[in-house]
Structure 1
């Protein structure tokens, strides 16, 4: 929903592609089946009773390590399906939560969204599950959240892994215009399945498409156009404001945990840049350079690049990605 669907010119994609039929799901993704049993963590935050959906998938032959997966803005815990399977086959326990405001979790009427708050919510979940130390892996917006988690809880973070994270630059400082929450809300209300697919095909998969991607379009569109679409759009707007106004790029040098960056070099994600002047659009979202710059900023970071791949290499080329992930974690 920005410069690509997840953060791109969704409005333009909608105009180009028109409407498309999609299933209808509830505001907490009621009706959509998760690949493993969905569990719930009930807790209180900001004087509200909230519920976080999550999957806790245990391997048959445990290696004693836990991986916590943090999804992106236009993703859910369920979209980690292939990664969960690959990790559990190698003995890793995997905890994959849906953050508050997303997917199967509560959509509050009002909530002060900060990456610190979401990191603390996740930390509370892990404490409940008895996970004292974990590999924290974040994709897209989940990369910003994983960074914040590692900064807040370095002793509990065994390793930080980021997959095409956003937040590798400060878009506002580079000239991307500010957008009010009300403007984000009006934009989110216009979300359609056709717009989602057009944006994902262009940005996630570099113009390619596989039939297995359809269910993720269906998942997102079904929630965004279903009976709870207003509260879904409102929380989405609040979250976009968090993304745009809370950069983590300045704190990368402060990371004290082993870090690996997986970067699809064809990615062009830059939140809010669809309203930016042409010169600014060309200056932001260059992942081929951002990956290298970020790896230099993070102490002792490892950079693994996927040439010509887009925003979601773990979904675009899952076998290649997961083999490289397993190899990296085994070091």
Structure 2
């Protein structure tokens, strides 16, 4: 039976995902591009993208994904699950690593993200988990090793709990959701978050990524993420994208998974950056509580100790984008774990 590996994260050679024209068009004096569509129409992905029709809450939607075969297959499959702030295209470097190791690689954009449909209703982890299993069924994949980054880690936990017979191994790469953010952050109205997100500028977003994710990332590696988010602002249905994006933030807050992590029965590895202190909603928490949030390496170690088959590796001088900050160490840990 083929095994599937679900991986969510970022890696070092992000520029491989994008064409040279993107960089050229960012130079001063060059005319601005036409806006991307809210399905990232006009934004380059590194491999061909297919679309799976789905119905969520009565709404007809399409889930985008890449399905890439290696030159020499080892009979196993890897699926990569992305974080909240990144389209699936950011997996280009990890796809190359896994292809070289003989894995077939399946890389979806979850509904509400990237090239997938932006629903009119609210996002829920249970729905995203069902969608992911539907994709595996569509591709004839019976079982998976799961590796997930950031928000993808929360989704992977829900998949491992709801569909344990579909998961062989779980690798959580700098996941969020290792604490219940409701313990620190008061509820924030959706309309307030919409207003704040709409006011965010490209420079402000760049500062967020460089400060909250990793100050080590070179500016040119951040630029594609800025493009993917801010060149859709001119799209006619931008407001629908914005509401879906805000819904994903409310999903993180309202649907914690930390209480489920100790109950996971499959072998699980956390790979954390020692400097990862990302904590969604921290600016909205009382000032006295903010320093207590986002102690992610310590949280991962504590949770791994409570699991039947859990372990954690912490990489020094690496942050939330652990696979970008320390790609060689991350890839070595990942490949050894997946080969077990």
Per the normalisation by structure 1, the TM-score is 0.89
Aligned to 1:238, what secondary structure does the other structure show? Answer: helix
2:74 aligned with 1:28: no
Aligned residues of 1:258 and 1:300 also touching (Cα < 8 A): yes
In structure 2, the residue matched to 1:256 is 265
Query: 3-state SS of the aligned residue for 1:249?
Result: coil
Greater RCO, 1 or 2 (C-alpha within 8 Å, sep 6+): 1
Q: What's the CA shift for 1:96?
A: 0.7
* C-alpha deviation, 1:263, in angstroms: 0.4
| Alpha-carbon distance, 1:208 to partner | 4.4
8 Å CA contact 1:25, 1:227 repeated in 2: no
Cα distance in 2 for residues equivalent to 1:323 and 1:293:
23
| Greater shift in the superposed pair: 208-217 or 281-290 | 208-217
Distance (Å, rounded) in 2 between the aligned partners of 1:230 and 1:151: 34
Report what 1:57 is aligned to: 68
Q: Is residue 161–residue 264 contact of structure 2 (8 Å, CA) maintained in 1?
A: yes
Say if 1:72 and 1:140, in contact at 8 Å, map to a contact too.
yes
Task: Flag the 1:204–1:103 CA change in 2: closer, same or farther, 3 A.
Answer: same
Are 1:191 and 1:224, in contact at CA under 8 Å, matched by a contact in 2?
Answer: no
Aligned 8 A contact 2:50 2:65 in 1:
yes
Q: Does 1:323 align with 2:335?
A: no
Q: CA deviation at 1:226?
A: 4.3
Counterparts of 2:314 and 2:219, CA distance in 1: 22
SS of residue in 2 equivalent to 1:223: coil
Check the 8 A contact 1:206/1:309 in 2, yes or no. Answer: no
Q: Bigger shift: 275-284 or 288-297? A: 288-297
Distance 1:265 1:135 in 2: 25
| Deviations, residues 93-124 of structure 1 (Å, cap 9, x unaligned) | 11110011111011122x23211110001100
309-318 or 200-209: which moved more? Answer: 200-209
Q: How does 1:1-331 map to 2 (within 5 A)?
A: 24-109=35-120, 111-173=121-183, 175-224=184-233, 226-331=235-340
Per-residue CA distance 1:123-142 (angstroms, 9 max, x = gap): 00110000111111210000
Compare 90-99 and 224-233 and name the one that shifted more.
Answer: 224-233
- Structure 2 runs not aligned, ≥5 long: 1-26
Aligned twin of 1:7: none
- The 8 Å contact of residues 137 and 160 in structure 1, kept in 2 or not, is answered as yes
Secondary structure of 1:164's match?
A: strand
Residues 182, 237 of structure 1: 8 Å contact kept: no
Q: Aligned-pair distance for 1:323?
A: 2.2
**CA RMSD after TM alignment:** 1.8
Following TM superposition, by how much is the alpha carbon of 1:84 offset from its aligned partner in structure 2, in angstroms?
1.1
> Does structure 2 conserve the Cα–Cα contact (< 8 Å) formed by 1:201 and 1:208?
yes
The answer to whether the Cα contact below 8 Å between 1:291 and 1:303 also exists between their aligned partners in 2 is: yes
DSSP-derived class of the 1:143 partner: helix
Cα gap change, 1:270 to 1:212, in 2 (>3 Å): closer
Cα pair 1:191 1:225 within 8 Å, conserved: no
Unaligned residue ranges in structure 1 (runs of 5+): 1-19
